[in-house]
Amino acid sequence: MTGGLDALPPLREVIAAHGLSARKALGQNFLLDLNLTGKIARQAGDLPACDVLEIGPGPGGLTRALLAEGARHVVAVERDPRCLPALAEIAAACPGRLTVLAGDALAIDPGAHLTPPVRIVANLPYNVGTELLVRWLTPAVWPPFWQSLTLMFQREVAERIVAAPGSKAYGRLSILAQWRTVPRITFDLPPRAFTPPPKVTSAVVHLARLEEPRFPADAATLSRVVALAFGQRRKMLRASLKPLGPDVEDLLLSVGIPPTERAEQVSLEAFCALARAVAAAGR
């Protein structure tokens, strides 16, 4: 499946030839080690059967790995126009298998270029990574257009995604991720794995979507309840959830949550029960 990829120059040469000095404002920390890019691509699962959406291909290290692992078609969204000639060389080496969309991933809808099943794989720019993840986890309809997300984050963000109740990292991101996906941290990458090295350790997180949410709840209501609860995470729920109505203590008690509890202690199942009670009360 490597096709003409083997004939491409090494990434360091590509970076030098196209003057791709890393820009901090674009979250540019490049992965040049083929063993690592291959390892990330393999975490994503069955690529030959899938289209892959990659955000921020940069000089194309991970893009090459996705193609080498046999991805049927890769759609890559890149904001930095300096990277486009390097990506065009990869596209030329794999005719018909790489589509590059130039622009901001927060503004572009790549849907028209993708055929299901779709997997999303990215070494995300840190400045937009969490926002993209929240968007992918909160589409208008479920199941979403993607089967799985395989994403690089700062280790601290990865821990928030997989955190259990009672831990400091547990919060809105944990609930959104664990309600409708099975998230797991697959491996860590030290700063020295990147060029230039970031300040912190990174981790790859794989999130496999569930066809049905783990517990029933209206998505918008659950999102609102969790945002309120964790917006003031050190407060008791009877205080942080006051905007839900004057009878918030009754709502909490009706689903077995002590009103003096803090958001950090409340399980995903209990938050879903609370969201159902809030919706039933017309809030």
* Residue ranges with strand state E in 79-129: 98-102, 118-123
Tell me, rounded to whole angstroms, the distance of Cα 193 from its chain centroid.
Answer: 20
Instruction: Name the residue nearer to ligand SAM (CB basis): 122 or 217.
Output: 122
Least distance in Å: CB of 50 to ligand SAM?
Answer: 18
C-alpha distance across the termini of the chain, in Å: 54
For 71, phi then psi, to 5°, come to -50, 135
Q: Which residues are registered as beta bridge partners of 120?
A: 53, 149
**How many angstroms separate the CA atoms of 204 and 123, rounded?**
8
Instruction: Evaluate whether 182 touches 208 at the Cβ level (below 8 Å).
Output: yes
Instruction: Name the residue nearer to ligand SAM (CB basis): 86 or 118.
Output: 86
Cβ neighbour number for residue 150 with a 10 Å cutoff:
24
Distances (CA, A) of 65 to 25, 70, 200, 226: 25, 9, 24, 38
Task: Tell me the residue nearest to ligand SAM as measured from the CB.
Answer: 56
Least distance in Å: CB of 62 to ligand SAM?
Answer: 4
Residue 230 corresponds to which amino acid? Answer: F
Q: Which residues bind ligand SAM (CB under 6 A)?
A: 26-31, 55-58, 61-62, 77-80, 83, 104-106, 123, 125, 128
Instruction: Name the residue nearer to ligand SAM (CB basis): 51 or 78.
Output: 78
Distances (CA, A) of 32 to 17, 142, 154, 176, 201: 15, 36, 18, 32, 16
Instruction: Name the residue nearer to ligand SAM (CB basis): 22 or 182.
Output: 22
Instruction: Name the residue nearer to ligand SAM (CB basis): 125 or 183.
Output: 125
- Which residue positions form the known binding site for S-adenosyl-L-methionine? 29, 31, 56, 78, 104, 123
Least distance in Å: CB of 110 to ligand SAM?
Answer: 11
Least distance in Å: CB of 221 to ligand SAM?
Answer: 30
Least distance in Å: CB of 178 to ligand SAM?
Answer: 25
